Amino acid sequence: MKQKKGGFLTFCFSMIPGAAEMYMGFFKMGLSLMGLEIVIIMLSSMLNFDILNMIGVLVWFYSFFHAHNLAGMPDEDFAKLEDEYLLHLDQLKESTAPMIKDYQKVIAVVLILVGIGMVGRAALSAVYSFLPEQIYHVIREFMYYTPQAVVGIGIIALGVMMIRGKKKELEEHENEQ
C-alpha cells in the first residue's frame, strides 16, 4: 500500500536506488531502479568496462531525486500516482522482438563470447598454480581486455550500421524527390 512519507527515513532509504520508492509503496518503481543499478554494476564488473559506472551514477542520482520528488508531492497528486515499472518491459518486448529476430546470430555470437570469457576466467583460476607466472600474466591480461575489445567492436559495428542506414534513407529520400 502506497503511503506518502517524509523525513529522515526517506532520506536514508533514498541513498539506495529504489529503496525509498519501495518504502513509500511503489514496489514496481523501486524494483526497476534497484534492478537497473544492480545490472549496471554487474555488467561493469563482468566486462571490465568502467564507463558503465557513470551510467550507474546517473541512475543513482535519478533515484535519489525521484524519491524526494515523490515525498514532496501534494497529497492529491501523490494519491493519483500509479505504481509502474520504470522500463515497461511488456512494451519493450513487443518493440524489440523484430530487432532480436533480425540480429539473432549477432546476439548469439556475443552471448557465446561472453560465456567463453567467463569459462576462461574460471579455468585460468583453476590452473593458476600450475602455470609459470609470466604465462599466467599474459593469459590474464588477454582475458581482462578481451570483453572490452568485443564490446568496443560491437559499438563500432553498430555505429557503422547506423550511418549506412541513415545514408540509405537519405538516398531513398532524394530518389523520391
Give how many domains the chain has, as a whole number.
2
Q: Are residues 45 and 107 located together in one domain of the fold?
A: no
Of 62, 87, 112, which residue sits at a domain end?
Answer: 87
Q: What is the pLDDT of residue 63?
A: 93
Range of the domain at 57: 8-87
pLDDT in tens, 23-72: 998 999 999 999 999 999 988 887 767 778 889 999 999 999 999 898 88
Q: Are residues 26 and 61 located together in one domain of the fold?
A: yes
Q: How far apart are CA 84 and CA 5, in angstroms?
A: 19
Are residues 9 and 23 in contact, defined by beta-carbon separation less than 8 angstroms?
A: yes
Q: Are residues 133 and 170 located together in one domain of the fold?
A: yes
- pTM score, whole prediction: 0.60
Cell for 103? 540480429
Number of C-alpha atoms within 13 angstroms, CB side, residue 89? Answer: 7
Q: Are residues 107 and 81 located together in one domain of the fold?
A: no
